[in-house]
Amino acid sequence: MRQYRHPSLRSVSLAKAMQALSDPWRIGIVQDLLDADGKEFTCSEFPMSVSKATRSHHLEVLRQAGLIRTRVNGKTCLTCLRAEEFEKRFPGLLALIKSR
């Protein structure tokens, strides 16, 4: 069973968070998760017209920047936003993304 690594947000720099948010696809993923208010998504539920490998890459970048958490449930991977933790580390940053 695949396991995902999630960094402690203390180890994530603002530069790393901003780099993760520098891509329009990744901003879209975060906006979808913000709009979902805590709901978990499978990878295929994100409306992206990119390959499966590219989608996985974008999710990995967001995971390594501390923005998302992915858990395995059987054969399904479920992703949610680490909003509360991220807000404590970088106050106001998610609000800027939500305002689009």
The pLDDT, as a whole number, for residue 50 is 82
In order of start, what are the domains of the chain with their CATH numbers?
A: 9-98 (1.10.10.10)
The pLDDT, as a whole number, for residue 34 is 92
Residue whose entry in the numeric block shows the structure tokens 């709901």: 39
pLDDT band at 74 (very low <50, low <70, confident <90, very high): confident
The pLDDT, as a whole number, for residue 58 is 93
Amino acid making up residue 86: F
Quickly list H helices, the chain: 14-20, 24-36, 52-64, 83-89, 93-98
The whole-chain average pLDDT of the chain stands at: 89
| pTM (two decimals) | 0.89
pLDDT digit string (tens) for 14-45? 999 999 999 999 999 999 999 888 889 887 77
User: Does the structure show a pLDDT above 90 at 73?
Assistant: no
Adjacent-strand bridge partners of 73: 76
